[in-house]
A and B are shown apart, each in its own frame.
Chain A
Amino acid sequence: MAVKELNISPVGRVEGDLDVKVYIDEGKVTKAHTQAAMFRGFEKIMAGKDPQSGLIVTPRICGICGGSHLYCASSALDTAWGTQLSPNALLLRAIGQATETIQSIPRWFYAIFATDMANKKFANKPLYKEVVKRWSAYVGETFQVGLTASGLPVQVYALFGGQWPHSSYMVPGGVMCAPTLKDITRAYAIMTQFKNDWLEPVWLGCTIERYMEIKSWEDMLAWLEESDSHKNSDLGLYIRAGLEFGLDKFGKGVEKFLAFGTYLHKDMYNNPTIEGRNKALISPSGFFDGENWHEFDHLKVSEHVKHSWFGDQEDGLHPWDEPIPTPVKSQPLHHSDFDGKYSWAKAPRYDGYAAEAGPLARCIMAGNPANLEHQIRDPFFIDAYRKLGGASVFTRVLARVHEAPRIYQLINEWLGQIDLDGDFYNKPVEKDGKGFGATEAARGALAHWIEVKDGVIKNYQVMAPTTWNVGPNDGNDNPGPIEAALEGTDIEDVKDPVEVGMVARSFDSCLVCTVHAHDEKSGVELSKFKI
């Protein structure tokens, strides 16, 4: 074999690129546009193919949320075919989703968000030194502990799913695995290590049970003061430094929230239907309009393309009615006309509104007083949200990390409910029809819509949480959530607008994001950086 000198790097396989263009005038962002810079037409591959190709193709859409795509792909076929799901199947799917989400929490916090807090912008703050000591990229004291712990939960996923990411163990009618007692015992042991290595000693500084007693923002502040171990835990430091650095003062967004919900209850979704889904969810779905909660109805979801590089469709179509993505000619950022089409992301809307997806949306749904007995009922976040003045970089991050102790408890509970002698799979009967499958990926609401006709896929539509958050203006020129969250942000140093990065990162967009800051009057590019 020829061995050659090589000066190249491997194929870049990011989920796509995002450019954020902000205009700054007198130290304030006056306008923001988000541009998804890559056509992603995975749906095109599936048209005309076997109905189950979504199970193989969609987990490959993302190297981080493969399990969430699989959850949606199998659920969409469950509803289209009218399958039967055993309690074991629902438990093992929930465990897969939950382990994927909980691994993302420390990985995202340390690797993506916390390093921003070590930016020199905050150097004059009293807690800055401590933040740098702990969270500096690669060298911080707890940076490595958190990242290493993040490798554990997906080992549990791999025990049942064969591998992580990109497995195909969830199938219409159940799951393709039959765990043994040894697997369950091993799963407990791995999760316990996650708790003992990071969650309790490093992150919380207390037991999970103690943390779960927190029901209001006052409770949280009291918890903080209760002991040095609370105060000096990474969560304690995040709360103190986050408020000291003023992260609660910017990044508001559209103040409307959407969750599709996830974790279907083992005894409540054995005959899957779209209509029966909301009530069977453990992590509840819903739409919050800033004041009130509304029951989620997938038929109220639509997509706009006035500002997106897609042709062949009008604004406001429900995914079942949308054509397979048809790209039109795009322009690079510098030549984009923001009055016209400017992004590869569509603009999804719920009941006509832009809505934020993600952990903050989930935590707000958990506070809905109408939630059922088996659903998550947690009044903490809606209280914190109201007392802290609504959404911000601070609340968005707090929501993300607030979920860890609860997900840990749920995984443990579900592991104990698996009936090793029970069924895991019921072979379904294939038929034509429409289906809807959804979940909460770590980053928020994810759904797949399918139409099967003449035994093959006629239509397949994937709507990712990042599309909800980074989508462009809609048909009425109303901004998407990140665009809205950036407007009005005060920028301390236009040469290093770290605030813009923090807002974008607080949404945890699944695209590699480049920020371009421009002077509003002259149009001159002031700075450009990757986040």
Chain B
Amino acid sequence: MKTAIMGFGNPVRSDDAIGIYVIEELHKSIGSTDDVSLFDMGTAAFEVLFGLKGHDKIILVDAVINTNEPIGTLFKVPAEEVLRAPEEDPMVFLHGMKWDQALSYAKKIMGDSYPEDISVYLIAIDNTKLEVDLSPTVKEAGDKVVNHIMHELKTLKVS
């Protein structure tokens, strides 16, 4: 059982950094191991396609805006819930693609080797200004995600 954890976001866009923060924290506490790959995906959605390969379980971490919930609110959803076919917007590629579209595309071309177990942690944010500071509330939510993921990984080991 091999797990890939992918964080998305831009560390120079304020709270949009949270997905990357989670990956950095996981690096500090567990690092990449034989069982776990950690990916700082930055803003490169298309690369998801290549990161999936060879993994059975995928955990994505990203920020979301416009949730109507307070910042720092956590959501956990199965990827199927947020999949969006790139065909719905066929002319947006590379520079415009988001990971939800990349996943949907990956499903199409990977066939049987597409990992079944993909879940997504989303953290509600609001501030995406060009700055390098993470707000305390969002950071705290990020720490919670780190704990959740550590717990998930431990459960995997036991089972």
Q: Which residues of A contact B (CB under 8 A)?
A: 1-4, 6, 8-15, 41-42, 44-45, 56-57, 60, 62-64, 66, 107-108, 111-112, 115, 137-138, 144, 147-148, 151, 154, 163-166, 501, 510-512, 529-531
Contact = CB atoms under 8 A, between A and B. Distances in A.
A6 B69 CA distance: 11
A13 B10 contact: yes
A55 to B, nearest CB: 12
Contacts of A529: 91
Contact of A10 (B64, B81, B108): B64
Given A1-B76, A3-B75, A8-B67, A13 B98 contact: yes
B49 A10 contact: no
A112 B98 contact: no
A510 B95 contact: yes
A60 B11 contact: yes
Contacts, number: 129
A188 B55 CA distance: 25
Contacts of B81: 6
Contacts of A501: 91
Contacts of B50: 151
B122 A6 contact: yes
Interface residues of B, number: 55
Contacts of A108: 94
A476 B71 CA distance: 47
Nearest to A13: B43
B77 A11 contact: no
A531 B99 CA distance: 19
Nearest to A107: B94
Nearest to B90: A137
B42 A60 contact: yes
Given A42-B12, A165-B42, A512-B95, A11 B148 contact: no
B130 interface: yes
Given A13-B43, A64-B44, A151-B50, A8 B66 contact: yes
Nearest to A17: B96
Nearest to B93: A111
A64 B94 contact: yes
Nearest to A1: B74
B150 interface: no
Given A42-B12, A530-B89, A4 B44 contact: no
A4 B75 contact: yes
A2 B122 CA distance: 12
A45 to B, nearest CB: 5
B146 interface: no
A11 B20 CA distance: 14
A450 B111 CA distance: 48
Contacts of B69: 4
Contacts of A62: 43
A60 B95 contact: no
B77 A6 contact: yes
Given A63-B44, A144-B109, A151-B49, A57 B94 contact: no
Contacts of B9: 11, 13
Contacts of B128: 11
B67 A60 contact: no
A111 B93 CA distance: 7
A108 B93 CA distance: 9
A44 B132 CA distance: 11
Nearest to A501: B91
Contacts of B65: 8, 11
A10 B120 CA distance: 11
B130 A10 contact: no
B93 to A, nearest CB: 5
Contacts of B131: 45
A8 B93 contact: no
B87 interface: yes
B153 interface: no
B63 A11 contact: yes
A57 B89 CA distance: 30
25 contacts: A1-B148, A2-B73, A3-B77, A4-B75, A6-B77, A11-B65, A11-B125, A44-B130, A45-B12, A60-B43, A64-B44, A64-B95, A66-B42, A66-B44, A107-B94, A111-B93, A111-B94, A115-B90, A137-B90, A148-B109, A163-B40, A501-B91, A510-B95, A512-B92, A529-B91
